[in-house]
Amino acid sequence: MSDSGDDERVAVVLDIFPNGRSDGRHGSRPMAYALDVRDFTLKEVVFEDTPAVGMDDELVIEPAGDNVRGVYPTEYEDVSGSAQSELEYIVEELVEAEEERFVSFYNDAQPITLRLHQLNLLPGIGKKLRNTILDERKRKPFQGFEDLEDRVAGLHDPVGVLVERILEEIQEDDLKYKTFVGRDEDA
């Protein structure tokens, strides 16, 4: 989705309010809810003037552009219903667009504890499927989602599994282990 430079931080607009929030926070300044492409955190972006962006558009949030007054972290339950419903589609697009990044998760996932592996955090991946993934990646690293699906019987939708986990991490504040959300890939 994005080919931004290393020094730029990009977010995808989930919902936009050209006349500001109805509760008056930030006055009547235009604002948007957006998803940080790098670490899947939700942001509230406040503008000086009505921006020339719409839903699903990418927006540079760091360094802030001339029209961006402020970027603030926000929680899932605080964003609009429209932003919440847009989230699944945007996350899926990001995962598909950055296939190499997410296939490398399957190739590089490690144990968290003696009894828990990062792969087990993914919905539907139990001990047997985890072991199949580990055995297959020992033979040869996975080249893409299609390769993963072809070589691991029982893993029919590797993209969907990742999307479901990312959404769970976005929606649930009290998860003990977060693999994708709030973990800056470049830090």
| Any domain includes 117 | yes
The secondary structure of 129-182 as a DSSP string is HHHHHHHHHHHS---SHHHHHHHSTT---HHHHHHHHHHHHHH-TT-S--SSTT
- Residues 111 and 75 occupy one common structural domain: no
- Residues 64 and 112 occupy one common structural domain: no
- Residues 60 and 113 occupy one common structural domain: no
| Any domain includes 65 | yes
Of the candidates 80, 115, 141, which is a domain's last residue?
80
Neighbours of 146 (CB within 10 A): 12
* Predicted pLDDT at 187: 42
| Any domain includes 4 | no
The number of C-alpha atoms within 13 Å of 158 and in the hemisphere containing its C-beta is 28
- Residues 116 and 158 occupy one common structural domain: yes
| Any domain includes 89 | no
Of the candidates 33, 54, 80, which is a domain's last residue?
80
Contact criterion met (CB below 8 Å) for 10 and 38? yes
- Residues 107 and 44 occupy one common structural domain: no
Q: In the chain, what percentage of residues exceed pLDDT 90? A: 77
- Residues 76 and 105 occupy one common structural domain: no
- Residues 111 and 144 occupy one common structural domain: yes
For residue 86 the two structure tokens come to 């847009």
For residue 49 the two structure tokens come to 């003037």
Q: How does pLDDT run along the chain (187 residues), one tens digit per residue?
A: 555 556 789 999 999 999 887 776 767 899 999 999 999 999 999 999 989 899 999 999 998 877 899 999 999 999 999 999 999 999 999 999 999 999 999 999 999 998 899 999 999 999 999 999 999 999 999 999 999 999 999 998 999 999 999 999 999 988 899 999 986 654 4
Handedness of CA 166, 168, 170, 175 (dihedral sign): negative
| Any domain includes 48 | yes
- Residues 107 and 167 occupy one common structural domain: yes
Residue 61 sits in which domain range?
Answer: 9-80
Q: Measure the CA–CA gap between 53 and 31, rounded to whole angstroms.
A: 11
Closest to 128 measured CA to CA, from 155, 150, 102: 155
Supply the CATH number for residue 120's domain.
1.10.150.280
- Residues 159 and 112 occupy one common structural domain: yes
Q: Measure the CA–CA gap between 84 and 136, rounded to whole angstroms.
A: 36
Supply the CATH number for residue 66's domain.
2.40.50.140
Q: Give me the number of domains the chain comprises.
A: 2
Crossing angle of helices 127-139 and 99-108, in 10° steps, is 100
- Residues 21 and 74 occupy one common structural domain: yes
Cα–chain-centroid distance for residue 25?
Answer: 26
- Residues 72 and 105 occupy one common structural domain: no
* Predicted pLDDT at 12: 96
* Predicted pLDDT at 151: 96
